Every structure is written in structure tokens, then in C-alpha cells.
A and B are shown apart, each in its own frame.
Chain A
Amino acid sequence: MAIQNKAKKPGWKELPEGDLIIGGGTALEFKTGDWRSKRPIFLKDKCIHCLTCWAYCPDAAIITQDGKVVGYDYEHCKGCGICYHECPVKGKAIMMVSEKEAKANEKK
């Protein structure tokens, strides 16, 4: 029952019994993107849309549209770098950068 986006967490009488989470697809509500120390940057021009990254991503954080990669879901991407590792493109279509620096650059 580790859903983060609740202002007040439920008391023991309100929780479903037995450590259950009722309902499907609840992992979507659990934002794990802030764990990231490395951020993948999508290099659109290099991507061949083979979807290898999409198949390997353990957090289903590769966003696709009409069978093509369009970007990453940074609310769930933990920055593990598997997509970068598996990218078959010569020179890679993904660049891993420091999350801290990426954030600092965003503010500028």
C-alpha cells in the first residue's frame, strides 16, 4: 500500500486487510522517477525505432506512439540505464546524463 500521492495516509482501520492493494494498474500511481541519479536523454535523430529499449525497460517507461519511440516517462524511469546498454544503434540513440546536472540545466 505504498501509494505516495495521498495527503493523509490511512490509519490501520481503514487499510485493506492483509497488505492487499485492491485494484489493478496501481503501480502507475507509485512515482519512482525521483530515485534516478542518471537520466536517459532520447536522441531522436539516431533512433531506428527497433523498440529494443521498450522491450527491456523494467519500468515500462519508454513512451511510444504508432510503433515509434517518442520519449521517456520520467515519473517512473529509475535511471537504470538498461535501455542505453541494450540500444543496438552505433553510437547509441540514448545518452545517459547526470540527473543533478540535468535538473540544474532545467532551472536555467
Chain B
Amino acid sequence: MANEKIVARTGNEAMAEAMRQINPDVVAAYPITPATEVVQIFAGYVADGIVDTEFVPVESEHSAMSACIGSSAAGGRTMTGTSSQGLALMAEMLYIAAGLRLPIVMADVNRALSSPINIHCDHSDTMMVRDAGWIQIFSENCQEAYDNMLQAVRIAETAKLPVVVTTDGFIISHGMERLEILSDEDAKNFVGEYKPENYLLNFDKPITVGALDLTDYYFEHKRQQVEAIKDSKKVILDVAKEFGTKYGRTYGLFEQYKMDDAQIAIVAMGSTAGTTKVVVDELRKNGVKAGLIKPRVFRPFPKEELAEALKNVKAIAVMDRSDSMNAQEGPLCVEVKAALFDADIKVPVLNYIYGLGGREIKLEDINFVYNELTDAVSGKSKNRISYLGVRE
């Protein structure tokens, strides 16, 4: 696109760049590795007067999300950023933000949860709050992180739901890549002006926010919230369509990579999808009909759409970068399998728990998984769950 600028940026820089262009009313945040830079760089923009944002440095992530809730309820466009323990500390407030239907947008850099303490990537933090009522968007690389942040604002404000955009800690957050950024004007026009329907600082139309809801109303409000997240699929697709039409990069609920005639498929989220694409290309050269599905949104979970995309494959491997500690499988696999069951698709589904605490996932590892899938297609029985890359 003519108005786009090509730069080199890390994932954190890309997210901060998006925040600069969004120019939110309020950002309340607390630093945590590896997400610190997102709000640190943004705080620099505030200090230099480049943005009009009120920056609230708080004493914890619990306070960060609390301040965001106050700001959003008051009517301000509100953003924050965090990771791992910070997200965990926010957990209580995340449910409140979602229950109050506040369109807060958060940059979340995926990092393992303690204990043992670790600062590197896995998805256990984001998975921990998967039922909080936030729309969860995963990014494969810096470009997606940037594009997703811009789209998240529109999605949040249209669906009246908070949105978390994730990148993979260090792999994306600190990895420098080629990034196409919109002109400030295009970005500003795309996100538009925030016009909340109801907000606390509207003295002409007073409201009460967060009233006590007991046995007689709580259930109805929760039912309403579920419907909103279900309906947000359409919002996500509409915003993605507009973004794709204007700027040429297309997004959906998930990406299908060489799935048209695929016989074996991996389902993987985040940066691992990039690694998988390289392996798919190699396998394709050797005539192996391999494909990849990369869920972009984990909430709302696109179950019918995923089942449709997987209906012709002979075996599926689901890659989970977190474990559910002896649930049926890892969190992504549980969802995929349930989707397949409801669509009457009965093929071998292998679950791989991988990359915990930032353990590297290499091309050979992905290649190994596709080989296992080929075996599974030919009837060789495989472990339902494998721990890929752990020392025995």
C-alpha cells in the first residue's frame, strides 16, 4: 500500500507503535518482563507529548486493570499491557472488565507462569484466563501483533468486550522483523473515534455501573455476556475484512495454510505456526500433503468453522504450549476435539504439549510431528498426548 512505511521492529515495539497511533485516552500499566517495553516505549511517547494519553503508573497489575476499568467505565478509550504473573494478578479484575462489558484493549506477551519461575514463552498465562470473558487474539509475528492491536480497538468497541492481543514472549516480543506500518492518518481513521453509548462521565444520562446482582439477575447478565462473545465472531470478521480491503493483509478467525488438499494437519497458535509453515513447505516439495491451521482467536473459539476446515484430513496434531494438568488434553486440543466430535469427524487427534518455559521448538520437532501423523494415518497407534522436547 502506498501509504505504508516499512521498518524494522520487535514485537514489543510494534505493539507500542500501534498504541501510539491509536492514541488512547488512558493507559494504566505496571512493568513485567517480557512485556515491559510495550508500555515503557509508550510512556516515552506520553512524556514527549507525542500522544494525548493520561498515563497512570500504578503499584501492581491488579491496580493497573482496576484503573483501566475505572477509566473505561468513565468513557475513555483505555489500553494496557502485561504478561504472565502480571496477567495472573489481574485475573480478578479481568472478569470484572468483561462482566461490565468494557472495551479495554490489552497487549499480553505470553510467558510461563511460576512455579518454577521462568521468564520465557509459553501460553499458560493466557490460557489461565481463557474463561474470563475477554476476546483472545494470538499473533504469529510482529506484523500480526501490530495489525491485531489496531483491529482489537474496533472489535472491542463494537462488541463491547475487552480484547487481549498476545505475542510470544521473547520469540516475537524481542525478535526484530520487517514491519509494514500504516500512516498515522490511516491508522487514526481506521480505529476512528470512540463514542461509548453509556459512560459514567455523561452527566446528561446518568448510569449505575457494577450494581449488586444476586440470585435474581446474575445469571441473565452472564447469559448476555456469552451471547456477546458468540456474536463477536462476526465483528472480528467484519473488522478483518475492512482491514484487508484497505491495507491488503487479510485476517480471519484462523489461518489455513495449504489446507485445500491436506491429508495431515497441525493446529498451532502463535509463533510456532511460522515454524510449521516452513516444514509444510518442505514436506510439500516431497509430495506430503501437509497443512496447518493457525487459530487467531481462541475466544470466541471458532468451533464450527474449524471442524469444517478439518473435515477432510486423515489425522490431526494439536500443539499446546501449556498443559491443563491432567485434563483430557491441553486446552487447545480439548476445544478442537470437542469441535470435531460435534461435527461427527472421527480421525486420530494427537496432542503435543511443547515449548513450556520457552523450550525451543525446532523444524525437526515439527517434522517429527508430521511423521507421527503419517504413521497415524496408516493405522499405527500413537500416544494420545506426547510431551515434545522434554528430557526423559
Contacts and interface: CB of A to CB of B under 8 A. Distances in A.
Task: State the main secondary structure of chain B at its contact with A.
Answer: loop
Nearest to B226: A12
Interface stretch (A17-25, A34-42, A96-104): A17-25
A10 B206 CA distance: 21
Contacts, number: 61
Interface in B93-134: 99-102
Contact of B100 (A15, A19, A25): A19
Centre residue among B99, B160, B207 by max chain A CB count within 10 A: B207
Given A2-B216, A20-B198, A22-B198, A15 B208 contact: no
A24 B100 CA distance: 18
Nearest to B213: A19
B217 A22 contact: no
Given A12-B223, A24-B206, A26-B208, A18 B216 contact: no
Nearest to B206: A24
B191 to A, nearest CB: 21
Contacts of B227: 12
B224 A21 contact: no
A15 B224 CA distance: 9
B210 interface: yes
Interface in B206-236: 206-214, 216-217, 219-221, 223-224, 227-228
B221 A12 contact: yes
Interface in B167-216: 198, 205-214, 216
Contacts of B160: 17-18
B56 to A, nearest CB: 22
Interface of A: 1-2, 9-13, 15-26
